[in-house]
Amino acid sequence: MACGQLSRAEALACSGCRHACHVMLYSDTESQLFGKIPIRHIILMQMRFDGLLGFPGGLVNPSEETLEAGLSRELLEELGVALPISIEDHVDSCHAPASSPSSPSRLITHFYVKKMEEEQIKEVERAAASTAPDHGQEVLGMVRVPLYTRKGGGGLAPFLSHSFIGNARSQLVDSLLRLNLVAPEDLHRALTHSLEIHSHTAEDLKVSLALTDARRKHF
Ligand code: APR
Ligand code: MG
């Protein structure tokens, strides 16, 4: 991963550090988009209150609860379901990206992955949009990650070109590779296309900015 790895013990021994735990929930699926494009896996992410994509989870205080119990508590708030998370689901821990090179981050992020049955994932999606206390507030909505690539390039590449919180994009890409959910060459192609999309997005943003500039001068 892009960030410096810490063992669980090193992470917990860091005095003055804050801790955040997030999880990638996923399942296999036989379903097909438009009845012909295999969806293969359902991976859950969320549109956060800050407009960024991320994984469900949040801040945990290890002096009051275990990392896994804290993560389950966050999931109850954000997804409306008390999902048990165990130490075996832990993937890695690292310092969150620093906002400036001169002030290293005091936030340690712990990442988990949990495989579920398709029906359980669908149940989570239903609860997240109905009973979850954070729905419409800290969580604007759950989203599935499209793993396919359409003829015109639609699917994984445009998804990866969105803005993500912290190192959530690397956590996603790392998991896709490690769990063999997308072939490395397909992922490489998609990321190359994401970079191209990014430069088009910059042009598009300049056009929108020019529109607002014209409006501001008008009033
Ligand atoms: N990589 C690195 N940092 C991350 C990641 C990630 N993948 N995902 C989240 N973070 C950071 C967030 O920027 C935040 O600072 O971890 C911290 C906690 O994660 P959240 O999911 O945002 O925490 P949560 O407890 O759900 O929400 C509390 O309310 O008080 C505000 O701004 C505060 O973000 C916090 C939110
Ligand atoms: Mg959160």
| Predicted confidence (pLDDT) at residue 34 exceeds the cutoff of 90 | yes
Distance of alpha carbon 160 from alpha carbon 93, whole angstroms: 22
Is 138 close to ligand 1, i.e. is its CB under 6 Å away? yes
Is 165 close to ligand 1, i.e. is its CB under 6 Å away? yes
Buried b / exposed e over 140-164, threshold 16 CB at 10 Å, is eebebbbbbbeeeeebbbbbbbbeb
pLDDT at 219: 67
pLDDT digits (tens, 9 = 90+) for 121-175: 999 999 999 999 999 999 999 999 999 999 999 999 999 999 999 999 999 999 9
Distance of alpha carbon 165 from alpha carbon 156, whole angstroms: 18
Contacts of 18 (CB under 8 A, 6+ apart): 59, 106, 107, 108
Rounded to a whole number of angstroms, the distance between the first and last alpha carbons of the chain is 49
Domain limits, the chain: 5-218
pLDDT at 97: 82
Name the percent of the chain lying above pLDDT 70. 98
Q: What is the mean pLDDT of residues 203-218?
A: 87
Ligand 1 atom 26: the closest Cα is on which residue? 58
Region label for 40, one of left (φ > 0), alpha (ψ between -120 and 50) or beta (otherwise):
left
Is 168 close to ligand 1, i.e. is its CB under 6 Å away? yes
Per-residue confidence at 215, pLDDT binned at 50, 70, 90?
confident
Which numbered ligand comes closest to the C-alpha of 55?
1
- Total-model pTM: 0.94
pLDDT at 176: 98
| Predicted confidence (pLDDT) at residue 203 exceeds the cutoff of 50 | yes
The CATH code of the domain at 5-218 is 3.90.79.10
For residue 190, which of 167, 164, 160, 165 has the smallest C-alpha distance?
Answer: 160
Tokens of 45: 């992410």
Distance of alpha carbon 35 from alpha carbon 40, whole angstroms: 13
Distance of alpha carbon 56 from alpha carbon 160, whole angstroms: 17
Tokens of 171: 């956590």
pLDDT digits (tens, 9 = 90+) for 20-30: 999 999 999 99
Distance of alpha carbon 3 from alpha carbon 95, whole angstroms: 7
Mean pLDDT of the chain: 94
Is 85 close to ligand 1, i.e. is its CB under 6 Å away? no
- CA of residue 48 to ligand 2 center, whole Å: 7
Ion ligand 2: residue ranges with CB closer than 5 A: 58
Ligand 1 atom 29: the closest Cα is on which residue? 138
pLDDT at 100: 74
Which residue reads 């969580």 in tokens? Answer: 139
Whether residue 122 contacts residue 31, with contact meaning beta carbons closer than 8 Å, is answered with no
pLDDT digits (tens, 9 = 90+) for 55-97: 999 999 999 999 999 999 999 999 999 999 999 999 999 999 8
pLDDT at 85: 98
| Predicted confidence (pLDDT) at residue 54 exceeds the cutoff of 50 | yes
Ligand 1 atom 23: the closest Cα is on which residue? 58
Q: How many residues does the chain have?
A: 219
Is 3 close to ligand 1, i.e. is its CB under 6 Å away? no
Ligand 1 atom 24: the closest Cα is on which residue? 58
pLDDT digits (tens, 9 = 90+) for 90-104: 999 999 988 777 777
- CA of residue 217 to ligand 2 center, whole Å: 39
- CA of residue 216 to ligand 1 center, whole Å: 34
